[in-house]
Amino acid sequence: MAALKTLIVDDSGIMRKMVMNTLGEANLAEFDFVEAEDGQSALTKLKDSKFDLAFVDWNMPNMTGIDMIKAVRKLERANDDDPLVLVMITSEKTMGKMQEALDVARADHFISKPFTTEEFQVKLKKVIEKAQMLRMRRNRVQVQVAAEAEPAKKGWGWFN
Amino acid sequence: MSATLIPVSPPAVVLAAVQAAVEQTYTRFCGDKPTVESEMQADHDCECVAGIISFFGDAAISLAWVLDAAVAPVLAQKFARFPIPFDSSEMGDVTGELVNVIAGDVVAYLEARKFHVKMSLPTVARGARLRLMPDKGVSVSHVNYATRAGKFWLRLAAQVD
């Protein structure tokens, strides 16, 4: 399985490093990491390139994580795109914040800081499987589109 | 017409929440339970780093968690799981994250007791003989701790309008 292209969004460089280290230690998949230091920068990176997974902090300058997730979901609805798998990693711990992230913004999962490798192994297994499944589906669609485009090219050849 | 600011002591529930969060977090990472040395403002004649964060809502409160140069690298390494020297730029970053985690615990603790506050982004100060000066009319509480690794202090400043 190819590495999952994963965006780590946090204004703290230490926390980005901790999330990447812990994901590596959890050994749930291979990851190809890209970092962003706020929601605005993350949105730009998401528009420029296709990602499988994103880990997003809540409280950040310029654009908060919750606003970024809402913007991503809005774009997905507008473009009829497959959903990006989004995990919120935050020091927020109240039920209200958890509900806002999961039910209102539609994040896939919510993890409170501080976290452990064991927590990642248990809590992220299904989320990572979902990211892998969506990636395989996207790859299949790309192959199918390419295969359908090939005969069409040949077909046009009759008229050339 | 400007509002008159009335100085008040930080509400007891907030002080209890902060102390519980800091003590649990320290013990979780470093193993030993910090002991309260005094609740007086002390002149800390040492190098230290302070994580500062504010709460606003039912009360306006500023929390500073001040770690001396002996305890800060120990706690930072246990939290981040890699070494972070006291005089590195990463020390400021990790201290901000530590006070941010504490603030999350405090907000949840208070929410469960129907006391609603939100937290700000953290800021960090580092220096020798660090003394934070409150605005006029702001009431300040201190708690000084000793641990096996070194010392740390809590400073809570509160005002209501």
Token pair, residue A71, equals 């913007």
Paired residues of B49 in beta bridges? B67, B126
**ipTM of the complex in this document:** 0.85
Mark residue B54 as left, alpha or beta (left: phi above 0; alpha: psi -120 to 50; beta: remaining). Answer: beta
As to burial, measured by CB atoms within 10 angstroms (0-12 exposed, 13-18 middle, 19+ buried), residue B110 is buried
Strands A31-36 and A4-9: parallel
Angle at B136 between CA B158 and CA B102, to 5 degrees: 25
Summarised one tens digit per residue, pLDDT across range A44-63 is 999 999 999 999 999 999 99
Please tell me the distance from the alpha carbon of residue A95 to that of residue A136, in angstroms, as a whole number.
34
Report how far apart, in Å, the C-alpha atoms of B157 and of each of A23, B8, B28 are.
38, 9, 26
Summarised one tens digit per residue, pLDDT across range B74-120 is 999 999 999 999 999 999 999 999 999 999 999 999 999 999 999 99
Summarised one tens digit per residue, pLDDT across range B7-33 is 456 778 888 999 999 999 999 899 899
* Domain architecture of chain A: domains with CATH: 4-159 (3.40.50.2300)
Nearest by Cα to B9 from B120, B137, B116, B122: B137
Q: Does B77 touch chain A (CB under 8 A)?
A: no
Contacts of A113 in chain B (CB under 8 A): 97, 100-101, 104
Q: Work out the minimum CA distance from A83 to partner chain B, whole angstroms.
A: 29
Contacts of B119 in chain A (CB under 8 A): 59
Please tell me the distance from the alpha carbon of residue A130 to that of residue A89, in angstroms, as a whole number.
18
Q: Work out the minimum CA distance from B25 to partner chain A, whole angstroms.
A: 9
Sign for the pseudo-dihedral over CA of A68, A73, A79, A84: positive
Interchain contact, A94 vs B96, CB within 8 Å = no
pTM: 0.88
Q: Which fold has domain B12-159?
A: Chemotaxis protein chec (3.40.1550)
